[in-house]
Amino acid sequence: MKEISPGNFGLLMAYLLPGFVTLWGLSVVSTDLRLWLLGAGMTGPTLGGFLYVTVVSAAAGLTVGAIRWLLIDTFHHATGLKRPEWNDSLLADNLAAYRFLIEIHYRYYHFYANMAVALAISFALWRAQVEAGTHTTWADTGFVLIELVFIAASRDALRRYYARAVSLLGLKLKENSDDKRRITPRDNQD
């Protein structure tokens, strides 16, 4: 069995955990899913059940990632956080450093943003099951606060990833109207 390494820990953190949170939220409305998560009978979860939940969590995490791309990535880019155009010709010489940047910034971006989506799905499903008139002010307030924290953290991690990747890969040269080569300007501060 493969051990957890920095490379696969990032994927576990970015997709499997948000996927599991999404499954937990779905278990509020699905008895079958609740049984998969808790295990049937007095014996608790089984190895087969664990493996099944792990695979389904990965699929749910990838689905959450697609929703993240549609909503949160679009939001960040629409509100001024633009993806720079890197000089991809420098990637081969800097591949190890680039992978390191992915692990220390981009995977955290995925975790924070994916978790914001997973929690929104789970909270909405839970909230739909709460009886009308039930006092949920603390839960609602807590949800809004944690969502704001995850979205702010995702923006910061993505900003740091972009800035450090630009430092590593430089900027792509673009043609201007005079047909001279120039470097695209980019704010490169942390």
pLDDT along the chain (190 residues), means of 10: 64 90 93 78 69 90 96 96 88 90 92 97 92 82 97 97 89 49 44
Quote the pLDDT of residue 77.
Answer: 95
1-12: buried (b, 16+ CB within 10 Å) or exposed (e) per residue? eeeeeeeeebeb
Residue 67 located in a structural domain: yes
Contacts of residue 156, defined as CB under 8 A and 6 or more positions apart, other chains included, come to none
Residue 83 DSSP class: P
* Tally of domains within the chain: 1
Residue 1 located in a structural domain: no
Residue 189 located in a structural domain: no
Residue 188 located in a structural domain: no
Tell me which residue range forms the domain holding 85.
6-183
The phi, psi pair for 187, rounded to 5°, reads: -75, 115
Residue 121 located in a structural domain: yes
pTM: 0.81
Residue 88 located in a structural domain: yes
Please report, for residues 68, 145, 170, the alpha-carbon distance to residue 151 in angstroms, rounded to integers and kept in the order given.
Answer: 11, 10, 27
